[in-house]
Amino acid sequence: MNGSATASNTWQTLAAHAEGMRGAHLRELFAADPQRFARFSVEQCGMLLDFSKQRLTAAALHSLHGLWWAADLPGWIGRMRAGEAINHTEGRAVLHHALRHQGTRPILHNGLDVMPDVRAVLEQMRRFCHDIHGGDWRGATGEQILDIVNIGIGGSDLGPKMATQALAAHRQPRVNLHYVSNLDGAHLATTLAKVSPRTTLFVIASKTFTTQETMQNAVSARRWLVEALGEPAVRRHFVAVSTNLGEVTRFGIDPDNAFAFWDWVGGRFSVWSAIGLPLALAIGFDNFQRFLAGAAAMDAHFFDAPAEQNLPFLLAALDVWNVDFLGAETRACLPYSQSLELLPRYLQQLEMESNGKRTGRDGQDAGCATAPVLWGEPGTNGQHAFYQLIHQGGRLIPCDFIACREADFPLPGHHDKLLANCFAQAEALMRGKTADEARAEMAAAHVPEAVIGRLLPYKVFPGNQPSTTLLLPRLDPHGLGQLIALYEHKTFALGAIWNLNAYDQWGVEYGKQLANRLLPIIEGRAKPDGLDSSTAGLIAYCRRS
**Tens-place pLDDT, residues 133-158:** 999 999 999 999 999 999 999 999 99
CA proximity to 539, closest of 518, 514, 512, 511: 518
**Tens-place pLDDT, residues 402-446:** 999 999 999 999 999 999 999 999 999 999 999 999 999 999 999
3-state secondary structure of 148: strand
Does residue 93 surpass a pLDDT of 60?
Answer: yes
Which pLDDT belongs to residue 2? 44
The C-alpha angle with vertex 419 and arms to 40 and 460, in degrees rounded to 5, equals 75
Mean pLDDT of 187-191: 98
Band the pLDDT of 1: cuts 50, 70, 90. very low
Which pLDDT belongs to residue 3? 56
Beta bridge partners of 149: 178, 202
Distance CA 103, CA 120 (A): 15
| Residue 545 CB neighbour total at 10 angstroms | 2
CA proximity to 201, closest of 227, 254, 237, 225: 237
Beta bridge partners of 180: 151
Tell me the domains of the chain and their CATH numbers.
5-79+291-431+465-497 (3.40.50.10490), 114-283 (3.40.50.10490), 507-543 (1.10.1390)
Beta bridge partners of 258: 240
Band the pLDDT of 25: cuts 50, 70, 90. very high
Catalytic residues, by residue number, are 353, 384, 512
Mean pLDDT of 5-13: 95
For the residues of 19-48, what is the DSSP string, one character each? HHHTT--HHHHHHH-TTHHHHTEEEETTEE
Which pLDDT belongs to residue 545? 79
Buried b (16+ CB within 10 A) or exposed e, 526-536: eeeeebeeeee
Is the CB of residue 251 less than 8 Å from the CB of residue 238? Answer: yes
